[in-house]
Amino acid sequence: MAENPFLVNLTREVPSRSSTPSLKYCSSSVEDTVRELQTDSLKGLSDNQDIAYRRNIHGTNELTEEEDEHIAIKFVKTFYEDKLILLLIGSAAVSFWMGNTDDAVSITLAIFIVVSVGFVQEYRSEKSLEALNQLIPAEAHLTRNGSTQTVLASTLVPGDLVHFSVGDRVPADIRVTEAVHLSIDESNLTGENNPVFKNIDAIRSSEVVPVTGRESIAFMGTLVRDGHGSGIVVATGSLTEFGTVFAMMSEIEKPKTPLQNTMDKLGEQLSLFSFVVIGIICLIGVIQGRSWLDMFQISVSLAVAAIPEGLPIIVTVTLALGVLRMARHKAIVRRLPSVETLGSVNVICSDKTGTLTQNHMTVTQVWSVDMKDVPLDVHKALSQPLTRDITTLLEVSSICNNARYSPETERYVGNPTDIALVECLPHFCVEDMRGTRERVNELPFSSLRKYMAVCAHSGDKSKCETFTKGAIEKILEKCVSYYDKAGKPKPLDEKTRAQINDMAETLASKGLRVIALAKCAGTFTTEPSDMVFAGLVGMNDPPRPSVRKAIARLMRGGVHVIMITGDSQTTAVNVAKQIGMPINDPRVSVMTGDKLDSMSEEALAAAISNVSVFARTTPEHKVAIVRALQRRGDIVAMTGDGVNDAPALKLADIGISMGKMGTDVAKEASDMVLTDDDFSTILNAIEEGKGIFYNIQNFLTFQLSTSIAALSLIALSTLLKLPNPLNAMQILWINILMDGPPAQSLGVEPVDPEVMNKPPRSRNDKILTTAVIKRLLQSAATIITGTMFVYMREMKDEITARDTTMTFTCFVMFDMFNALACRHNTKSIFSMGMTNSMFNFAVAGSLIGQLCAIYVPFFQRIFQTEALSAGDLLFLLCITSTVFIGDEIRKFLSKSNGISSRYSYNV
């Protein structure tokens, strides 16, 4: 293999700003860059062995954060970063100093178990979050050996030829070789808000060129704001300019999510309450003459058991696992708090194209002025003669087009409208004409212009022609004549303009998207003018099959679905009716962009409750719609795929971008990405979000009822001057059950489909509602009563190992039945079945652990227990099942009262 000069003296170290490859190549011409990197400016790299060698030298094109601490160091730090664990360590040290070696060893072992359980949970949470970061890979449009395809940006190597257009994020540091109206937002790299216009010229300067002055370089991580371009990759990964910025960004610690902050606050309040109660217990015990060392050990152990220090960890794990489940349903959540927020969404504003529809535009009808009132069906085109006006129309649709053919996928890639126009050419036995033309100027399509223009010639620059396509009102206002059947221009009078508008309305009423095409001789400087109207094209994008059912379920669940589209009102209404959206009176249910412009935010907020469709809108209108909905107190989910959708996506409570057709900037501004671009996926995500909230309530009920029961049990024993029913090791084992697998398994309970029949929650709804508090107090009271009954029944004069074993086992079995009852708030376990395999394994493992504690000699010494008879276990089974039976009775009465209330209401 020939030596590659670019591979010399490169390391994986992060370069300084004054020595990056972009600095070198911004001053090199395109020819020099191509020659030095041994590539091709048209075909890209071709030698697979060479590509593999470059990847071996440079690694993957990723900015990976270095692991700053070894896992063992993190584990050790856990022991001294938790104040409660420090108290336990102090207790063990005091026990050892006092000669109580057995207690010291037991407490030390307990500390190790508790810390290990918490560490494993936290580590799983971190790994889940790391997995989420890999779910949205950056993509690049790559040409190798003359074949263009979309690949993961991580596979790029220096010398690759890549292409980028409006909304794309530049996948590496690239020496620009083609630039058409190319402007790039480099604010995340330079801090400058104004987009930088790029060109292919080398920078000539005797001084070091600053990053802001490297106009021939497109930097990794920056966003294409306008136009399109191509270029040669000169740096990947940490060698890019963004790599040096990433090194600084990686040092910033991520803040906790709002939900985690809420749970932390709840934990602080519970901790304060627990410490007060524990302090009183300790004080009373000492006053009663008990050993201060015993009371100290019991109090510290009780503190660990009573305070749900694992609550934030379990919440994070629950959210992360929920996100991974959503990913399997094609919904990738980029921010954890969005998982829970999804359950509160009561308004969904959705794009029509690609989300509600299949996003594969197909040209079905074409029309020119001389056709009068009968457009040509594309599928019947071969059976009819091809007139000159239709030939011109097809010429415009072919040349004014940016769709690219990919031999790898054997299909066109690019804008759906462009693809549809090129794919219809074979129906007329017409080939793509772009190979016979050379472009000299292009005005890219934008949401403000609403049209695209291309200036090209067939070899003679003096015979340039301008081709345009776009919204009918924009194209028509630039036209002064039209082509007749013979292909000759004729004056465009008001009658003909009215005829064109009438036909456009007719095509739109059939649910077709209508675009106009025009052509003229000559070129343009700023905007084309004096155009000749060629005709209209109607294309169809059918609704997705699953959308109608999804909208019906969302509406039953109290979610208002709004369709927002740039298409005409007629087209929008037609599609809305096909997918089952309520359009009873178009004057009330439909609003156009023009009407929206004339309304104040207050007026829009008042009128929007009855609107189901917004037509002829711009991305700016989306922002106004979101503001109006939020002004009413609605929780809004907004979908989008373009650069200009980013403000609305960011403003919405849940921004949803498209994974296939969405631009990188839209994905970055969003909270969730639909990898299949399918609206029905949103339904699954909202269902999951609602289910997660109820799961959080369920394991919170379990944890707090156990915590209250443990505290109350020790408090009652102390007040009644009875020996403590549980020793330190037994309390810590209960703590493991409370914060460990049984609690965590409640967080992954399968979502109940009935949650979609419940209305969305209010933004300010508390997790600990009155109903939840009543439920956990009922469970805690049952556990306390039953455990105290067993304790008083067993204890005679002095407390024995059997007494504590019976009490300890009673409490643990109560805990398992309580966990079973907490799987659902209102539905009987008998109707649910044992569908949560993680819960089944967690409870089974906990029971096996308890059996080991009372039957294995080694654990008997640790927990100070003795073996129980089968009769003892059967007796305890009958007692402890009362917490489950009581909750089942509560669910039955609640359901009966609910049915009675609905019956009375209906009567």
- Residues assigned a catalytic role: 351
In sequence order, the 6+-apart residues with CB closer than 8 A to the CB of 75 are 115, 119
Spacing of C-alpha 241 from chain mean position: 27
Amino acid present at 603: A
Amino acid present at 420: A
Which is nearest to 392 in space by CA: 383, 382, 400, 384?
A: 400
The CA angle 859-860-863, to the nearest 5 degrees, is 80
Q: Fill in the DSSP letter of residue 169.
A: B
Q: How far is 153 from 19, CA to CA, in rounded Å?
A: 23
Strands (E), 213-306: 217-218, 223-235
Q: Fill in the DSSP letter of residue 356.
A: I
User: What is each CA distance from 658 to 330, 356, 640, 698, in whole angstroms?
Assistant: 11, 12, 7, 33
User: What is each CA distance from 209 to 166, 206, 215, 243, 731, in whole angstroms?
Assistant: 26, 8, 10, 18, 67
Crossing angle, helix 770-794 and helix 870-880, to 10 degrees?
A: 150
- Taking the CA atoms of 819, 823, 826 and 827 in sequence, report the sign of the dihedral they define: negative
Is residue 63 within 8 A of residue 237, CB to CB? The reply is: yes
Is residue 441 within 8 A of residue 454, CB to CB? The reply is: yes
Strands 223-235 and 161-165, by their bridges, are antiparallel
In sequence order, the 6+-apart residues with CB closer than 8 A to the CB of 292 are 286
User: What is each CA distance from 311 to 122, 536, 688, 704, in whole angstroms?
Assistant: 11, 62, 20, 10
Q: How far is 595 from 216, CA to CA, in rounded Å?
A: 44
Q: Fill in the DSSP letter of residue 462.
A: G
Q: Fill in the DSSP letter of residue 652.
A: S
User: What is each CA distance from 445 to 449, 569, 584, in whole angstroms?
Assistant: 7, 21, 35
Spacing of C-alpha 737 from chain mean position: 32
Strands 636-640 and 347-351, by their bridges, are parallel
Amino acid present at 613: V
- Taking the CA atoms of 189, 195, 197 and 198 in sequence, report the sign of the dihedral they define: positive
Read off the tokens for 52: 């593999």
* Residues 821-847: b if buried by 16+ CB within 10 A, e if exposed: bbbbbeeebeeeeeebebbeebbeebe
Residues recorded for the chain: 907
Q: How far is 57 from 250, CA to CA, in rounded Å?
A: 24
Q: How far is 539 from 397, CA to CA, in rounded Å?
A: 13
Crossing angle, helix 494-509 and helix 569-578, to 10 degrees?
A: 10
Read off the tokens for 567: 């298409």
Backbone angles phi, psi at 145, to 5 degrees: 55, 35
For residue 185, list its beta bridge partners: 223
Q: How far is 435 from 577, CA to CA, in rounded Å?
A: 42
Q: How far is 856 from 850, CA to CA, in rounded Å?
A: 10
Torsion of CA 856, 859, 861, 862, to 10 degrees: -170
Exposed/middle/buried for residue 553 (C-beta within 10 Å: 0-12, 13-18, 19+):
middle
